[in-house]
Amino acid sequence: MRHLARVTLHLLLLAALVVAVSGILAATPALAQERAVKIAGVGAMTGVIRGFGINSKAVFDMVVDEINEKGGIKLADGTRAKIVTTFVDERCNAEEGISVVRKLASEDWLVVIGPTCSNVAEPLFGILQRKVGDAGDTGLQFPIFTDTAIKPGLAKISEWSFRNVPHEPTMYNHLFKWLKEKHPDVKTVYGGVESDFAHSNANWGVMEAAAKAAGFEVLGVEKWLLNDTEFSTQVGKWRRAKPDVVAISSHPFTLCGTLREMKRQGVKPKLLVGLTSSATLETMAGCGPDAEGLIIPTGFAPVTPEAQRVAKIVATKYKGNVDLHSAAVYENMYVLKQIIETSGVEAKPGTVQQDRRRIREGLAKVKELQGLLGKVTRTDDRESVKPYVFAIAKNSDWAVLYDPR
Amino acid sequence: MSDVALDVVQQVLNGFLFGSSYALIGIGFTMIFGVMDKLNLSFGVTALAGAYTGLLVFHLTRGPFVLVFATAVAAAGLLGLVVELMCFRWMPRDYPLAPLMATMGMLFFVDEVIAHATHGRPMAFPAPMGQVMMDLGPWLLRGAVMGALWFLVYKTRLGLATRAVSQQPVAAQLCGIALPRVNAAVFVITGMVGGVAGTLIGSAVGNLSPLLSLPLTVKGLVTAVLGGLGSVPGAVVAGLLLGVVEYEALYFFGIGYRDMVTYLLLFAFLVFRPGGLFGRGVRA
C-alpha cells in the first residue's frame, strides 16, 4: 500500500513538473513574441531570378543574426527585443508579390525589405497609400524598404515606399564622362538591350542619355528578348557599324550570349559597358573569359574593411554573395535598427499600425546613412545616392577600375 | 553582291543552323503524337534537363565533351521513360486531358528543379569542337541524328512496330505488338533525340539556363504543327522553315516583330493547311 502511495506521489510530482515545464515553454515564446520586432523579407526565391533572392536572404539572415547576437533592438520602454523574420517568395511576379505583401500587412509584420524585381516593385508600390494621412486613400499603410528592384524613380509612387538602390543615372553619367576623358579618341556608341525586361529597358535609356551628354554619338540600339539564345543578327549589325563602344543593357544570360557571339564574329570594340545588375559573380560563372574588359559601375565591391568582412561572412556561413543588390539589405537593416530605437517603436501586439507609421516617418527623416562603401545620401523622393566604383572584368573576376569615392 | 543580299543569305544560313535545333525538338513532339495521339509538353524541358545532367558530369569529372554528350543523351532518354510512366501509363485512361495536364505539370516541375539546383543562374556549357567548328559541327550532328532517326523509323522492326501502333493501335496489338513496350521505346528514343538537341543548343549558346525551357517547348510545338503532327520529315522541314522565317523577320522587322511573324505563319497554316506540311490531314 505504501509502495502504491509512493508511486502515486511520484507520478503526481512528475505530472506537476511536466505542467510547470510546459507552462514555462509555452510562456517563453509568448513573451518573446510580444516583444519581438518582426521584419519580413520579400524576394524572388523561385524561378530564373532566384539568385538575387538567395543573396538577399543570405545577407538578411546574416545581419539579423548579428544584431540579435549583440542584444537585439532597444524599444521605446527600454526593453530589448530580438528581431523575428520571415522571407517570402515573390517569384518575380507582380500578382504574387502583391499577394504576399498583402498577407504580411494583414499580420503583425512591421516593415518589409524587398522585393527583388522592378516589375513587382512598381505595381506593389501602387497598392500602398499614395500620400500619408489621405483619409480617402485606402491603400496599404505598410513601409517597404527596397534593396534590389532598381528601375529608376519607383519610390516616388507612394510615401510608404523607400529604396536603397544604386542611382543609375548618376553612375552612368559619371562613367561615360570618365570614359570620354580617359579615351578622347573614342567617339561612337552602339547599344544592345533586352527589350522585354523593365530594368534593362530603363537602363538603356539611362545609358543612351549619359553617352550623349558625355559627347558620344549613339549609332543605334539592337534589341533581343530575355530568353533569346541567338544573337548573330544583332551582333552582325554591330560588326558592320564598327562602334568604338558597345553598351549592353542586359542580364547575365543574354549578356553572355552576346559576348560569345561578339567573340565568334570578331567584334572587338575599344570599350565594352554593361548593366549594373550584371556586375555579379553570375556573369563570371556564365562567361568569365568572354567578358574580359567589360566595364560596369556598381554600388558594391569589397573595397572597405567592413565590406570585406560582410562579404566574407555571407559567403562562408550563409552561402550567398554580397553584390550591389544584396549589400543594401545589410545597410537597410542597420538603418531600421536605428530608426526603431529612436522613433518610439513599442513592438506590442496593439501597436502594430502605430509602429509602422513611426518606422515610415523615421525612414522619411533619414538624410544620410552609413553604407558598406561609405556615406549614402538620401533624396527627398525616398531614394539613395550611393557611393560606387567602376568595376572591370579581368581574368574571370571583377576588379576595381576606378574608385571615385 | 550587295551588303543586304549578303545579309539575307547569312540569315538563311543562320536560320538553317538554328532551325535544325527546332527540327530536333519538333521531332520529339511529333513522334510521341504520332504514336500516342497525345502531346508531351514536357519534352523541351527534359531535353534541357538532359543537357544539365551532362554539364553536371562535366563539372564533376572535367571529362571530354563526348562524355558530356553521352551523359546528356542517356539522361534525357531516361527522363523520357519517367515521363511516359508518370504522365501517360499511370494516368487514368478515361480522362484524355489528364496526360496533357500531367506533362504540363512535369514541364514546370522539372523547370523548377533546375532553377533550384542552379539558383536560376546561367551556367557555361562546353563547346564540342572549339570555336572554329562551332558553326558547322552541330549542324552536321543534327543532320546525322535526323538520318539515324529516319533509319530507325523506316528500316528497323522497332520502327515498323512504331508505325503500326501509330496507324492502327488496336490492329497492331492484335498482331502481337506490345503497346506499352513500343510506347516506352518511343519515349526513350525521342528523349535521347531531345538530349542531343539540348546539348547542341547548350554548345551553340554557350550557356544553359532554365530560361530556355519555355521557348524550346513553344518552338517545338510550332514546328510539330507546321510540319504536320505525326510527321518526322514534316518536323525537319518545318524546323528549318521556322528558323529561316524567324531570322529573316528579325533582320527586316526587328525583335518586336519576329515572334509576330512566326505566329502569323502558324495561324496561316492552321487556317489554310491545318494538317501541316506533311500531315495526315484533319481527322473527323
What pLDDT is stored for residue A144 in this prediction? 97
With an 8 Å Cβ cutoff, are B205 and A230 in contact? yes
Interface probe for A, chosen from B52, B203, B205, B258 (most Cβ of A below 10 Å), is: B205
pLDDT bucket at A32, cuts 50 / 70 / 90: very low
**Of B124, B134, B242, B145, whose CA–CA distance to B196 is shortest?**
B145
Q: Which is more confident, B280 or A218?
A: A218
What pLDDT is stored for residue A19 in this prediction? 53
pLDDT at position A179 over 70: yes
Contacts of B122 in chain A (CB under 8 A): 252-253, 256, 282, 285-286
Q: Which is more confident, A177 or A30?
A: A177
Among the residue ranges B37-51, B199-213, B262-276, the one predicted with the least confidence is B199-213
Among the residue ranges A18-22, A378-382, B139-143, the one predicted with the least confidence is A18-22
The answer to whether residue B19 sits within a structural domain is yes
pLDDT at position A142 over 90: yes
The answer to whether residue B247 sits within a structural domain is yes
Dihedral class, residue A301 (left if φ above 0, else alpha if ψ from -120 to 50, else beta): beta
| Grid cell of B218 as nine digits | 513553344
Nearest to A48 among B14, B115, B215 (CB): B115
With an 8 Å Cβ cutoff, are A285 and B122 in contact? yes
Nearest to A253 among B112, B211, B254 (CB): B211
Query: Residue B190's domain is classified under what CATH number?
Result: 1.10.3470
What pLDDT is stored for residue A272 in this prediction? 97
User: What does pLDDT average to over chain A?
Assistant: 90
Q: Which is more confident, A405 or A23?
A: A405
Interface probe for A, chosen from B20, B209, B218, B219 (most Cβ of A below 10 Å), is: B209
Nearest to A286 among B18, B119, B207 (CB): B207
Burial state string for B180-189 with b = 16 or more CB within 10 A and e = fewer than 16:
eebbbbbbbb
| Grid cell of A59 as nine digits | 545577407
Contacts of A49 in chain B (CB under 8 A): 120
Burial state string for A290-314 with b = 16 or more CB within 10 A and e = fewer than 16:
bbeebbbbbbbbbbeeebeebbebb
DSSP chain B: --HHHHHHHHHHHHHHHHHHHHHHHHHHHHHHHHHHS---TTHHHHHHHHHHHHHHHHHHH---HHHHHHHHHHHHHHHHHHHIIIIIITS-TT-THHHHHHHHHHHHHHHHHHHHHHTT--EE---SSHHHHTTTHHHHHHHHHHHHHHHHHHHSHHHHHHHHHHH-HHHHHHTT--HHHHHHHHHHHHHHHHHHHHHHHHHHHSEE-GGGHHHHHHHHHHHHHHH-TT-HHHHHHHHHHHHHHHHHHHHHH-HHHHHHHHHHHHHHHHHH-TT-SS------
Nearest to A195 among B11, B123, B255 (CB): B255
What pLDDT is stored for residue A13 in this prediction? 60
With an 8 Å Cβ cutoff, are A253 and B209 in contact? yes
pLDDT at position B84 over 60: yes
Put simply, whether A195 touches B (Cβ < 8 Å) is yes
Contacts of B124 in chain A (CB under 8 A): 256, 285-288
Domains annotated for chain A, with CATH where assigned, are: 35-166+304-386 (3.40.50.2300), 168-298 (3.40.50.2300)
What pLDDT is stored for residue B138 in this prediction? 64
Nearest to A226 among B119, B211, B256 (CB): B211
Interface probe for B, chosen from A233, A261, A262 (most Cβ of B below 10 Å), is: A233
Mean pLDDT (whole number) for B53-57: 93
Mean pLDDT (whole number) for A221-225: 94
**Of A159, A122, A158, A127, whose CA–CA distance to A140 is shortest?**
A127
Put simply, whether A49 touches B (Cβ < 8 Å) is yes
Q: Which is more confident, B215 or A176?
A: A176
What pLDDT is stored for residue B229 in this prediction? 87
pLDDT at position A39 over 90: yes
Put simply, whether A238 touches B (Cβ < 8 Å) is no
Half-sphere exposure of B200 (CA within 13 A, CB side): 29
How many angstroms separate the CA atoms of A296 and A199, rounded? 15
pLDDT in tens, A315-336: 999 989 898 899 999 999 999 9
Mean pLDDT (whole number) for A267-287: 90
Q: Taking the alpha carbons of B90, B92, B95, B101 in that order, is the dihedral positive or negative? A: negative
The answer to whether residue B279 sits within a structural domain is no
With an 8 Å Cβ cutoff, are B10 and A236 in contact? yes
Touching B: A residues 307-366, CB under 8 Å = none
Residues B141 and B131: beta-carbon distance below 8 Å: no
Chain B residues near any Cβ of chain A (below 8 Å): 3, 7, 10-11, 14, 18, 112, 115-116, 119-124, 131, 134-135, 201, 204-207, 209-212, 214-215, 247, 250-251, 254-256
Q: How many other C-beta atoms lie within 10 A of the C-beta of residue A226?
A: 17
The answer to whether residue B56 sits within a structural domain is yes
> Looking at the 3D structure of chain B, how many domains does it have?
1
Contacts of A252 in chain B (CB under 8 A): 121-122
Contacts of B215 in chain A (CB under 8 A): 227-229
Q: Which residue of B has its CA nearest to A236?
A: B7
What pLDDT is stored for residue A21 in this prediction? 52
* Gap from A45 CA to chain B (nearest CA, Å): 8
What pLDDT is stored for residue A277 in this prediction? 87
With an 8 Å Cβ cutoff, are A233 and B209 in contact? no
A·B CB contacts under 8 A: 91
Q: Which residue of B has its CA nearest to A51?
A: B119
Nearest to B201 among A228, A229, A288 (CB): A229
What pLDDT is stored for residue A11 in this prediction? 57
pLDDT bucket at A30, cuts 50 / 70 / 90: very low
With an 8 Å Cβ cutoff, are A229 and B255 in contact? no
* Gap from A289 CA to chain B (nearest CA, Å): 11
The answer to whether residue B97 sits within a structural domain is yes
How many angstroms separate the CA atoms of B2 and B8, rounded? 10
Domain that holds residue B24: 3-272
pLDDT in tens, A61-79: 999 999 999 999 999 999 9
Q: Are strands A389-394 and A397-402 parallel, antiparallel or unpaired?
A: antiparallel
pLDDT bucket at B271, cuts 50 / 70 / 90: very high
Nearest to A48 among B7, B18, B209 (CB): B209
Mean pLDDT (whole number) for B1-27: 85
With an 8 Å Cβ cutoff, are A227 and B215 in contact? yes
pLDDT bucket at A6, cuts 50 / 70 / 90: low
Residues A165 and A56: beta-carbon distance below 8 Å: no
**Of A74, A103, A77, A76, whose CA–CA distance to A88 is shortest?**
A103
What pLDDT is stored for residue A405 in this prediction? 80
For cell 519610390, what's the residue?
A155
What pLDDT is stored for residue B136 in this prediction? 60
Put simply, whether A265 touches B (Cβ < 8 Å) is no
Put simply, whether A236 touches B (Cβ < 8 Å) is yes
Percent of chain A with pLDDT over 90: 71
Q: Is A163 helix (H, G, I), strand (E, B) or coil?
A: strand
Residues B223 and A238: beta-carbon distance below 8 Å: no
The answer to whether residue B142 sits within a structural domain is yes
* Gap from A266 CA to chain B (nearest CA, Å): 11
